[in-house]
Chain A
């Protein structure tokens, strides 16, 4: 009996060792390329980093860099608030949009595969440098402007509706944000490819018998959306929310990131650059943490 137990422990040990061997590349990489640089950049953010020939020597300056970033630097605080608001608004818009599109695509109709592949196309084409180049494309903007002028004074339909609402006295800021999103629906559409696929895969796991039962009991489509569909895919909201926010932070047209990269590559001010990126990182982490905690309260797990 005793020897058997020992043997089992041996097997477990062997498996544990095998497991560690399998993930060893990750552990090594994590320690060398993640923990060490993280600690180092945290340290550098409190220092004045002087680049010498063949080495670099940080000189301790306390919170000078943080002070400088928030209180002296002309752009940083403004860019930070702008980016965070943009992130919040657009992430919400992306969630709503992708859920809606997934609902529409979930039905059966001709050409569904084609539409699905079109919606997924931006994941491939609008990544990395493409995104930035597209957003800077002045030609498209110029063309759009000429078209608007040629159309005779009145610009897009959203502007017209906005005008009506404003004269009716509804022109509050929330509406303006809404209209801004509507005008930039292209941005929203091209950054929601993965989210649509994730929602779709969730929707397809809901068995149709649930809807049938609900319909027989007299449940309308609208009610079954809120009582069945929503709770069943609620766990995916959390996944998608985190993915969206993180993806937004890493997009190449993010102005904060641009500023940090410039500081590092052109001005060689490593201390200030790390201070700025740390402040940004901590803020984003806090937002991700708090928002996902709130969402996870409402998540329903079907067992």
Chain B
């Protein structure tokens, strides 16, 4: 303690007193100190407000999910439930068939994410490390792929998989085409060919990363008699762990919440994102069955939304847990790739 004090005294020299120093600097010290405090107070208020803005819907959902239906209509109750209940969770879990759906979602997201990242790594490495004719053309194709909204080609993909065929060979043999529309195969095929959800972005990020690895490393491996594939697996892949983790995390999370590709290709597998989208309707039907009403029109809107909020929470809880543990993987490597055009 006394040591640091002495140090501070040394630093400031003979003008230990703040006001004395301020006088010597002609008022500059006071001005800059006040400015500094002012800036940090403004920043703190601003950032607190913005953080609250972002977190508020989440907090709101949490508080609503523990309320009973009576609490929703009670004007006194705003954020802390009067009758604490976990009934909403049981109800939402039952309606979404949470157990099986969760396992399905986990399986699909994991396998798709691994497949997408593996293929994107191969392609990204090819773009970053090899010289071949038409390289720029193909890379432009990657950028085009990023830019094209999947909705543009969705109509035709729909039909493509409805009447799937490999160059007409199958039709020649059996006379009909294969209907792949209600199976998972098309989506796995697309992911294996780097055409899945936001796959171009992963290719771009991975390529950016590999480009920054020094060429000498690769050349040394070649000189020592390492083949192309071996160099890739033994030298390059271990280095690329951070970017691969972050791509994997993104792929996993975006697949988890995706509604577009899932409803297009994976319609008959119960996934959390799909179930969540249908939850208001399922709930309406359930209420109608209980009350014996002919239609689901009479179900109260607040209660539906309460159950929906509970369901949403149940879907995002795994993601929040993942984010808490792997936060660094998301943010750090994204900024370390140095995204530039």
Chain A interface residues (CB < 8 Å from chain B): 12, 14-23, 25-30, 32-34, 36-38, 40-41, 44, 49, 54-56, 101, 104-105, 107, 109, 115-125, 127-130, 132-134, 137-140, 142, 146, 185-186, 189-190, 194, 197-198, 200-201, 204-205, 235-236, 238-239, 242, 246, 249-250, 252, 257, 260-261, 264, 270, 273-274, 277-278, 280-281, 284-285, 288
- Complex-state Cα separation, A146 to B123, whole angstroms: 54
Q: Assess whether B331 is in contact with A117, with CB atoms less than 8 Å apart.
A: yes
Q: Least Cβ distance of B93 to chain A in Å?
A: 17
A27-B138, A30-B141 known; A122-B54 Cβ under 8 A = yes
Given contacts A29-B193, A124-B319, A239-B340, 8 further A-B contacts (CB under 8 A): A25-B119, A25-B122, A119-B54, A125-B58, A133-B276, A139-B306, A252-B259, A281-B149
Q: Least Cβ distance of A233 to chain B in Å?
A: 10
Interfacial chain A residues near B338, Cβ < 8 Å: 201, 205
Interfacial chain A residues near B132, Cβ < 8 Å: 15-17, 19-20
Interfacial chain A residues near B126, Cβ < 8 Å: 18-23
Interfacial chain A residues near B123, Cβ < 8 Å: 22-23, 25-26
Q: Assess whether A246 is in contact with B194, with CB atoms less than 8 Å apart.
A: no
Overall SS of chain B's interface: helix
- Complex-state Cα separation, A25 to B125, whole angstroms: 12
Q: Which of A44, A117, A130, A194 contacts B257 (CB 8 A)?
A: A130
- Complex-state Cα separation, A38 to B323, whole angstroms: 36
- Complex-state Cα separation, A250 to B136, whole angstroms: 26
A33-B190, A128-B273, A204-B335 known; A26-B142 Cβ under 8 A = yes
Chain B interface residues (CB < 8 Å from chain A): 40, 43-44, 46-47, 50-51, 53-55, 57-58, 60, 64, 72, 75, 119, 122-123, 125-127, 129-133, 135, 138, 141-142, 145-160, 162-163, 176-177, 189-190, 192-195, 203, 228, 253-254, 256-260, 273, 276-277, 301-302, 305-306, 308-309, 312, 315-316, 319-320, 323, 327, 330-331, 334-336, 338-341
Q: Assess whether B341 is in contact with A139, with CB atoms less than 8 Å apart.
A: no
Q: Assess whether B335 is in contact with A197, with CB atoms less than 8 Å apart.
A: yes
- Complex-state Cα separation, A32 to B164, whole angstroms: 12
Q: Which of B51, B177, B195, B308 contacts A30 (CB 8 A)?
A: B195
Q: Least Cβ distance of A256 to chain B in Å?
A: 9
Interfacial chain B residues near A190, Cβ < 8 Å: 54
Q: Which of A121, A127, A138 contacts B301 (CB 8 A)?
A: A138
Cβ contacts A to B, 8 pairs, < 8 Å? A54-B177, A56-B163, A121-B55, A129-B276, A133-B308, A142-B301, A277-B151, A288-B147
List the count of A-B residue pairs having beta carbons below 8 Å apart.
256
Interfacial chain B residues near A119, Cβ < 8 Å: 50-51, 54
Interfacial chain A residues near B323, Cβ < 8 Å: 117, 121, 124
- Complex-state Cα separation, A294 to B43, whole angstroms: 33
Interfacial chain B residues near A264, Cβ < 8 Å: 154-155, 158
- Complex-state Cα separation, A189 to B47, whole angstroms: 12
Interfacial chain B residues near A120, Cβ < 8 Å: 327, 330-331
- Complex-state Cα separation, A146 to B75, whole angstroms: 9
- Complex-state Cα separation, A134 to B44, whole angstroms: 28
Q: Assess whether A129 is in contact with B149, with CB atoms less than 8 Å apart.
A: no
Chain A residue with the shortest CB-CB distance to B125:
A22
A15-B132, A22-B125, A34-B145 known; A41-B327 Cβ under 8 A = no
- Complex-state Cα separation, A124 to B47, whole angstroms: 20
Overall SS of chain A's interface: helix
Interfacial chain B residues near A281, Cβ < 8 Å: 148-149, 152
A41-B153, A54-B176, A205-B338 known; A140-B57 Cβ under 8 A = yes
Q: Assess whether A250 is in contact with B334, with CB atoms less than 8 Å apart.
A: no
A18-B228, A30-B145, A200-B335 known; A134-B153 Cβ under 8 A = no
Q: Assess whether B312 is in contact with A133, with CB atoms less than 8 Å apart.
A: yes
Q: Assess whether B147 is in contact with A22, with CB atoms less than 8 Å apart.
A: no
Q: Assess whether B151 is in contact with A260, with CB atoms less than 8 Å apart.
A: yes
- Complex-state Cα separation, A294 to B151, whole angstroms: 27
Q: Assess whether B277 is in contact with A133, with CB atoms less than 8 Å apart.
A: yes
Q: Least Cβ distance of A42 to chain B in Å?
A: 9
Chain A residue with the shortest CB-CB distance to B46:
A104
- Complex-state Cα separation, A123 to B132, whole angstroms: 36
Q: Which of A21, A54, A285 contacts B147 (CB 8 A)?
A: A285
Interfacial chain B residues near A146, Cβ < 8 Å: 75
Chain B residue with the shortest CB-CB distance to A17:
B132
The listed residue with most B CB atoms (<10 A of its CB), out of A124, A190, A200, A242, is: A124
Q: Assess whether A129 is in contact with B335, with CB atoms less than 8 Å apart.
A: no
Interfacial chain A residues near B129, Cβ < 8 Å: 19
Q: Assess whether A246 is in contact with B147, with CB atoms less than 8 Å apart.
A: yes
Chain B residue with the shortest CB-CB distance to A97:
B50
Q: Assess whether A37 is in contact with B156, with CB atoms less than 8 Å apart.
A: yes
Q: Assess whether B43 is in contact with A34, with CB atoms less than 8 Å apart.
A: no
Interfacial chain B residues near A235, Cβ < 8 Å: 340-341
A22-B125, A23-B123, A38-B153 known; A55-B163 Cβ under 8 A = yes
Q: Assess whether B277 is in contact with A189, with CB atoms less than 8 Å apart.
A: no
Interfacial chain B residues near A260, Cβ < 8 Å: 151, 154-155
- Complex-state Cα separation, A32 to B190, whole angstroms: 9
Interfacial chain A residues near B195, Cβ < 8 Å: 29-30, 33-34
